[in-house]
Amino acid sequence: MTRVIRCLIYRDLLVAWRRRSDVAVTLLFFVIVVSLFPLGVGPEPELLRQIAPGVIWVAALLSSLLALGRLFEADHADGTLEQLALGAAPLGVVVSAKALAHWLVSGLPLVAIAPLLALQYDLPGGLYGVLALSLLLGTPVLSMIGAIGAALTLGLRGAGVLLALLVLPLFVPVLILGAGAVEMAAAGVGGHGQLLLLGAMLVVAAALAPWASAAALRISLE
């Protein structure tokens, strides 16, 4: 099973490399959204520090949503998804591998670049690690939850709009906890509680979301 997961991740990463323009669009969208807010609200340092966690987290959430359409669509179009569903590996394991590869391509770059973009908001030095850690714990949850929505809307007309309507309400707790961790750390209270909750959500999502996505895929393929 480990070999199957490794092969699927390697395949999806190779496909993403060949379509790196799609990956670049997601990263560029994140950079543009985060960079526009300081230009729009003005150079007031105190205001920028207050809005920084929410802005960065909303931008990361929207970027993750933008990338969700690529999770199963290409494999469904060329028939690969049907072959994977008929294979010996459980479909839940296949979904886990694809979700992990999707996060490595669309989520991990956001985690890496977010502290650099946060420099525009004049955040105190101690908050950059909290911001990166909150994104490191939260963005995989977005990918796992988003995989369920992507599976449910696979092959439907207007799938992008339906996907947003399905998953955005489920993204809200992750957004609140992620931004709240940075805000609590900025207030001197410490964001350990929010980070622990994000970690718990990640464990639950990793255990349950792939199998829910697999059931949704079987419905969509039928």
- Could you report the per-residue pLDDT of 160-216, keeping only the tens digit for each? 788 888 899 999 999 999 999 999 998 888 788 899 999 999 999 999 999 999 898
Distance CA 149, CA 184 (A): 31
Residue 4 has a pLDDT of 81
Give the mean model confidence (pLDDT) for residues 101-128.
89
Question: What tokens appear for 15 in the block?
Answer: 């496909």
Distance CA 92, CA 11 (A): 17
Residue 122 has a pLDDT of 84
- In 3D, which of 102, 194, 198, 84 has the Cα closest to residue 149? 102
At residue 103 the predicted structure's pLDDT band, cuts being 50, 70 and 90, is very high
Residue 43 has a pLDDT of 79
41 or 103: whose pLDDT is higher?
Answer: 103
- Quote the mean pLDDT of the chain: 88
The Cα-based distances of 155 to 72, 73, 99, 160, 219 in angstroms read 10, 8, 18, 10, 11
